[in-house]
Structure 1
Amino acid sequence: MKRFYSVGLISCLVFVLASCSDSSDPKQPEPQQVAEKATPKQQETKPTCQLNMGWDPWAPYQYLTPENEVKGLEIELVSAMAKEAGCELKFVQKSWMNLLNGIRNGSIDLLGGASKTSARERFARFSDEYRNESFILYVRRGEADKFKGESLKDLLASGFKLGVTEDYIYGDEVSMLQDDPATAEKFVSVPTTEVNYYNLIQNRIDGFLEDPFVAAYTIRRKGLGDEIEAHPIRVHSGNVALMFSKKSVNEDTVIAFNEALTRLMENGEYKRILDKYSF
């Protein structure tokens, strides 16, 4: 009897263990199912590239808000291109010269608003040109018609005093007039662009040259809409592109940005951003 009891007891234990094992089997695939569901979501949010974009303050193209956020026309344009190209941007603030050195050594991946030169092509790749840089003549409100139809050279020859900002590159036309003894003395140079607005209102100059987006931002911020207006004269200084470091960015990334720019122009997002910073 004892032997029969032992065998029966062992049989019962084996049956119980087998039953417990069977009841747990359906739960085993669940971790795998959860992982499979999470994978597509992770792939959607992960950027294909991460880039350090250098910037230096120049409102409204690039500036820091009171909330410590980097904003501006240039920032919005490049961010839109990066998003369309599947890239994530990290903003790094330095002086322009230090940013150029960063492009050379690869610590900075890209810069916006850069002019393409043979010297820079030795260490940088360039995107397609995406923005036209020009300067407009601004005069006191009500005086635009007074100088209507005249060229910048004719204005200066007639005694027109023109305000310019030191170290700005206004293009070949202005450079030639600044080098010409007959017109050079008509230029009034100031260290910062905002001095031109003050000099114009105080009748110290007859007009000044300014980037239209910078002028729109400054006039709006200072409430000078009733005192200053744009003149039809526009001076083209060149087109700008994105500049990528050859040390850290490959050609495929540049192509992706070019394709992104094309799509933004086609879907209207490019124009929407530009219009946001215009009058």
Structure 2
Amino acid sequence: MNKQMKQGGVFLLSYLLVVLFLRFEAQADQNCGDVRIGWIDWPPYQYKSSDHSDHFPEGIDIDISQDVFTELGCNIVFVHKPWKRLFVELEAGQIHVLPGISYTEERAEKFLYSSAYRTEELSLFVRKADIPTFNFDSFEELFQTDFRLGIPRSSYLGPELTEIREAQQYENQIFERTGGESLEMIIMGRVDGFLIDHETGIARMQASEKYRNAIGYYNRIRYSIGDIHFLLNMDKFKGDLLSRLNAIVEARVP
């Protein structure tokens, strides 16, 4: 009898430990805790606040991040790093979220994506004085001229522009530079125009009288590169936490 009671007690204790472990695992999946959000200087989406603090940035993506991850119950820490470094640290789990990211299959092999929370559109920014001389409505027509096109380096540009960028026949007409160089290259005449996120181009023009006076955008070419997501560390956002995040994001989208 005593032996049976001992065996029963051991079984019950084991059962309770398993139940407690599974409950702890479920709670861990639901608990957001600290979430480190990486950002770069990219007005009007992400930029330093008036007090120039790396830990309290401002912008469209920043505001949405604050609202979404606060509602998720996270303790938010913003981290400012160079673009390429952010991806290295996201994969390593040193940061957990990158806002403002387009979907690519290559990234999806290493990271998770949230539901989309906005879209992005590129405009062709050019010298104002040149606008009356242009007469094209597509990239195909543009490249039939001697137009020199600047595009942002290391950025996703959608399927059509990615194919154009990789085509050897256009290599003498395409110039890849960092986004921060774009308007200056137009002013200096090193390119005839530069494809820039529409809101970013407007923000950069508004920040400088020189750019406001000299640069505009050619409104016969507007190019959508599609949905924009939060890019997420796989280990941090798993199970119920990802589902809850997506539910919050989807509830915000009109």
TM-score (norm 2): 0.73
Q: 1:243 matched to which residue of 2?
A: 231
1:231 counterpart residue number: 218
Residue 225 of structure 1 aligns with an amino acid whose one-letter code is R
Amino acid corresponding to residue 90 of structure 2 in structure 1: I
What does 1:235-274 correspond to in 2, within 5 Å? 235-266=223-254
CA 243–167 in structure 1, closer or farther in 2 if over 3 Å, else same: closer
* Residue 219 of structure 1: aligned partner: 205
Aligned to 1:137: 124
1:122 CA displacement: 4.7
Which of the numbers 62, 65, 79 marks the counterpart of 2:49?
A: 65
Which of 175, 180, 184 aligns to 1:198? It is 184
Aligned residues of 2:117 and 2:253 also touching (Cα < 8 A): no
Instruction: Check 1:180–1:75 CA distance in 2 against 1; reply closer, same or farther (3 A cut).
Output: same
> Structure 2 residue aligned with 1:53, among 28, 37, 40?
37
2:27 maps to none
- CA deviation after TM superposition for structure 1 residue 137, in Å: 0.6
CA offsets 1:113-145 (integer angstroms, 9 cap, x no match): 233444544543321122223321112225445
Deviations 1:158-188 (A, max 9, x none): 1112223333332332233334444321223
Q: Quick one: distance in 1 between partners of 2:142 and 2:243?
A: 44
Per the alignment, do residues 48 and 180 of structure 1 end up closer, same or farther by CA in structure 2, a change over 3 Å counting?
Answer: closer
Task: Give yes or no for the alignment of 1:165 onto 2:149.
Answer: no
- Amino acid in structure 2 at the alignment position of 1:260: I
Give 1:215 shift.
Answer: 0.5
Instruction: Within 5 Å, give how 1:14-33 maps onto structure 2.
Output: none
Q: Which has the larger radius of gyration?
A: 1
Q: CA RMSD in A?
A: 2.7
Q: What does residue 9 of structure 1 align with?
A: none
In the aligned structure 1, how far is the partner of 2:89 from the partner of 2:189? 43
Conserved? CA contact 1:104–1:247, under 8 Å? no
Amino acid at match of 1:239: D
Q: How does 1:118-133 map to 2 (within 5 A)?
A: 118-133=105-120
- Gaps spanning 5+ residues in structure 2: where? 1-30
Shift, 1:55, TM fit: 2.2
Question: Structure 1 length normalisation: TM-score?
Answer: 0.67
Distance 2:218 2:41 in 1: 27
DSSP-derived class of the 1:157 partner:
coil
Relative to 1, partners in 2 of residues 1:251 and 1:98: Cα closer, same or farther, differing over 3 Å?
farther
Question: How many aligned positions are there?
Answer: 219
Secondary structure, aligned partner of 2:142: helix
**Mapped partners of 1:54, 1:181: distance in 2:** 35
Q: How far has the Cα of 1:218 moved from its partner?
A: 0.6
Name 2:11's counterpart in structure 1. none
Offset from partner CA, 1:175-225 (integer Å, 9 cap, x none): 3333444432122344x3343323323444321111112101110001223
Shift of 1:65: 2.7
SS at structure 1 position matched to 2:191: coil
Instruction: Flag structure 1 segments of 5+ consecutive residues without an equivalent.
Output: 1-46, 267-279
1:238-261: CA deviations, max 9, x gaps? 423112222223332222222222
Equivalent position SS for 1:225: helix
